[in-house]
Structure 1
Amino acid sequence: MPSEVAYLVKGHAEVRRILQNEATFRRAGADGIDHFPSTAATVAAMDGDELRRMRGLLGNAFAPARMARVRRAVEALTDQLVRDMFADGTADAVEMLALPLTLQVIGEIMGIPPADRLRFAGWGDRYLSIHPDTSDADSRSAVEEMVAYMGEHIADRLAHPDRPSDVLGAIAVNGAALIAAEPGDAHDLQVRIALFAATLVVAGWETTAAILSSSLLRLLTAHNADGQLLYQELVDHPTRIATAVEEMLRTIPVSMLDSTLPRRAVSDTELAGVRIPAGSLVLPGTDLGNRDPDAFPEPNRIDFQRRGANRHLAFGAGPHFCLGAPLARLELNVALETLVRLVPDLELGQPPETVLFSAATTIRRPKSLLIRRPSP
């Protein structure tokens, strides 16, 4: 791919402006840029009415009030995972907590049979892969398999409207209404709806699992301004967990890149005094914006009493704001609440410098993370 000039935007206010202003900064024409995964045909590559139609298929499925109603089930699952994981004293927090928790929760909410949920883990890894041995054909194959699977299950939901309500059922019903109302290629719209449902599952576990495991590493190795281990601070002050989650989201990158997906400037514009010509590639540096001192005083300091910590850009902003943000926040809060309650003496089970991060996809997470409960 030929090279071109791109503008990396670092300021919190400027990044937010880009993400919120789709009239000036569009995803269209900025897909498949080197180092960024291709998102063609998914909502990540859409703008305007097309994006709103797809997101509208969910209704209020992930609204905070609805997520509050699933909290008890998330608590029960987390409690069981934490109690089971220390049978041998030391456990891999990635394989025994972060991945199973997030995959099972999104699978249950979506209505994916338990036996099929690990298939999405494999599809997601192939779809998001940046490994040199993974070809574009592998990624396309993963997308095709996910679409075929979801297409069958959406058809099944429509054929059995008496089944218990779940998110996939809502997508099926709303998607059928959209197809009936939209002129044009019904098959193409069916494919896009099925892909939308599939990527919800992938996005609903992979990034949350990543931030949970990375947060545990941070909590068990970093100290607050008073020299106290961050995890111990939460043990002593569990009411600070909600803000701790926001500070983890603010300060821990979940992507290998400093930027979220690129945009193109629709017209000549200006950001932070810099003229950006129409057609230019613009990279909204969300991770950099989250450490902008104008937005977050002493941005490199982790402060579990920080005011306005939730103004971070970890979930994006504007039309592409993460649909699953309420669910991710719920899972992260419940995981930390459960750990500090059941394992107040939790320790890292390996030297910090031996923790290796996965390079298989653009998602930044430890490949494994050994944690342990000290012997009595």
Structure 2
Amino acid sequence: MESYLQSSRFIWSMGALGDPYALLLRGQANPYPLYEEVRKRGPLHLSRVDTWVTADHALGNRILRDGRFGTRTVAGERVAPQFSSLDDSFLKLDPPDHTRMRRLAIPLFSPRHMGTYRPHVEEVCAELLDRLDPVSGFDLVKDFSKHLPIALIRGLLGIPDEYREKFDHCCHGAAQVLEGFVSPEHLGELQLTVDGLYEVFADLMELRAKEPGDDVISRLVAAEREGVLTTSEAIGICGILAVAGTETTTNLVANGTMALLNHPEQWDMLRADPELASGVVEETLRWDSPAQLATRVAHEDVELAGHTLPAGSLVAVLLGAANRDPEVFPDPDRFDITRNTKTEHLSFSGGPHYCLGAPLARMEAAAAFRALAARLPDLRQTGPEERWMSASARGLRQFPVAAG
């Protein structure tokens, strides 16, 4: 806790001196002007918080794919304050441990599985919209986008009905870990929700050891028995699937819907042609990505963009800035669901840490956009939205809307 407080105070003081990266770490409702300040400083520069920072798409992509960089130091230590046990998941590991654990999760996101998931996702979208009273109004985040991915993850993990309420509550609470620098008063509460989530998984691993089923936890129990991974690693995989697998889609749907309503001509295009939903997904990921920041550490001395980065140097790839790099995306600040570019955005990272759940998030969000356009064609915002104040995750806490 004390190290967190010291780090937080240092960041605030460097932000007061005008360092754009420090200001971003303090949390911004609109980070995009600060991204341009970073871009003006060149492809790569050393910030006052002793982190090398880039807003350049080509350089960011290179760093994410470069095996000389990792998410931990060579000694295996974390490179940022740890906010909870969930923050020690396999996403924060480097090869070979990351590779070993990632391999266990890959089959869940195969094209074959995507085909079986889609009907269920469309059914959940319809059920959620059936419960709403659009004329009176509802909160798009709390009443729709939060519930869509969690319903699918529940099925993947095989969460029994008696654990559903606790699982949902802990998933929503644990999502704060994705914010990065949360306030000190929330750290204890955050750990309690993560502990509750892990308790659910520990209970279910015991259950599935006796009564195996066709679900992720049963497969992880089998892998544990074969000595492929430990119990704590299996629980960690469940935790990251539950939290990252729900919050990315939640924020993607909310960010995309807000962008559509703020650009009525784009909303009209989607209403006229629901097949443009996949275009909405990709442009939202580029224009207002749920993931805004990826941090890496140099495992050896690296020559990069005219600079020498000593081993141990921290590097921050500003994903949201790279996705609006004018050298890659013409007219980058324009939201255009028909945009056709040959270069992919960096919203799902790159290299060994490319997001496993990318196909699932894309499929869920596209189904949500199609359902909203078909069922609520006159959807409109009815009050002020509230955003997460985070450097790493961009999404909405609340988004009041109505239709009819």
TM (norm. structure 1) is: 0.85
Residues 51-102 of structure 1 deviation map (CA, whole Å, 9 limit, x = unaligned): 0111122241112331121111111110121232135431111111101111
Given candidates 174, 177, 181, the residue that maps to 2:226 is: 177
CA distance in structure 1 between the aligned counterparts of 2:139 and 2:334, rounded to whole angstroms? 28
Query: Structure 1: any 5+ residue segments left out of the alignment?
Result: 183-188
Query: Structure 2: any 5+ residue segments left out of the alignment?
Result: 1-5, 11-48
The number of residue pairs the alignment matches comes to 351
How many Å apart are 1:277 and its aligned residue? 2.2
Tell me which of the two structures has the higher relative contact order, counting C-alpha pairs closer than 8 angstroms and 6 or more residues apart.
1
Residues 269, 276 of structure 1: 8 Å contact kept: yes
SS of the equivalent of 2:88 reads coil
Written as runs of structure 1 = structure 2, the 5 A alignment for 1:44-193 is 44-86=91-133, 88-114=135-161, 115=164, 116-125=166-175, 127-128=177-178, 130-135=182-187, 137-161=188-212, 163=213, 165-179=214-228, 189-193=230-234
Residues 257-296 of structure 1 deviation map (CA, whole Å, 9 limit, x = unaligned): x422x21112222333333222211111111111112222
CA distance in structure 2 between the aligned counterparts of 1:36 and 1:269, rounded to whole angstroms? 29
In structure 2, the residue matched to 1:358 is: 388
Residues 86, 239 of structure 2: 8 Å contact kept: no
Residues 246, 309 of structure 1: 8 Å contact kept: no
Residues 146, 195 of structure 1: 8 Å contact kept: no
SS of the equivalent of 1:15 reads helix
How many Å apart are 1:253 and its aligned residue? 3.3
CA distance in structure 1 between the aligned counterparts of 2:85 and 2:207, rounded to whole angstroms? 30
How many Å apart are 1:360 and its aligned residue? 8.4
Amino acid at match of 1:10: A
Residues 293, 392 of structure 2: 8 Å contact kept: no
CA distance in structure 2 between the aligned counterparts of 1:337 and 1:122, rounded to whole angstroms? 25
Written as runs of structure 1 = structure 2, the 5 A alignment for 1:299-314 is 299-308=332-341, 311-314=344-347
CA distance in structure 2 between the aligned counterparts of 1:18 and 1:313, rounded to whole angstroms? 11
CA distance in structure 2 between the aligned counterparts of 1:134 and 1:196, rounded to whole angstroms? 24
Residues 315, 322 of structure 1: 8 Å contact kept: yes
Amino acid at match of 1:233: M
* Aligned-residue RMSD, C-alpha: 2.6
Residues 167, 197 of structure 2: 8 Å contact kept: no
Q: 1:59 to 1:206 in 2, by over 3 A?
A: closer
Q: Which has the higher helix share?
A: 2
In structure 1, the residue matched to 2:28 is: none
Residues 345, 373 of structure 1: 8 Å contact kept: yes
TM (norm. structure 2) is: 0.79
Amino acid at match of 2:110: A
CA distance in structure 1 between the aligned counterparts of 2:83 and 2:333, rounded to whole angstroms? 26
Percent identity, please: 27
Amino acid at match of 1:259: L
Given candidates 254, 257, 265, the residue that maps to 2:290 is: 254
